[in-house]
A and B are shown apart, each in its own frame.
Chain A
């Protein structure tokens, strides 16, 4: 079974809107990471947040982490059509990164 689970499974928004994706995980973590995957391509690392951090920003990305609720959220502001992709959270409860099943984001022009 997978450690992280993203919610929603699919999200469709208009260009310029914000997109929020959530991730829940089961065991204690050292860090939580978000990755992006365009269709048929490899994954690209977006951001890493450590267990002692609560919020982190990178460009149009904002990640929050609530270790008491074992959850994280990824916010993409002012979305663009090029943001269309699958987004995965990943944690390393046993040392190796374990991925959720992802959120498919579609940004309509």
Chain B
């Protein structure tokens, strides 16, 4: 399968614990995005990488959230000291785009569903 891969698919954790999600994008894609989606809503943008550089972070992304993309390949999204409000689906997407070019089609993974008890 050469699509976007996300792990784990489901994570249940207790409030206050740290969690980490991993995203493996389509190999030739240089852009990688993280979105968060709650029930009945559309995806909300969290952050975006062009290769290994994190170019944009949403104001939704509190200090408890950190994302990395070492070597411009896979990415991790860590949430520290989880809160019940962090319960959501975390979606990763990738695309191929030149720096400064407008955003084209995104290829999404199946998401990682987080439940904070």
Contacts and interface: CB of A to CB of B under 8 A. Distances in A.
Interface of A: prevailing SS: loop
Nearest to B41: A101
Contacts of B43: 43, 88, 99
Contact of B110 (A2, A33, A41, A100): A41
B103 A96 contact: yes
Interface residues of B: mostly helix, strand, loop or mixed?
A: loop
B97 to A, nearest CB: 10
Classify chain A's interface size: 20 to 34
A48 B91 contact: no
Interface in A1-42: 2, 4, 30-31, 33, 35, 40-42
Interface of B: 4, 33, 35, 40-45, 48, 56, 91, 93, 102-111, 113
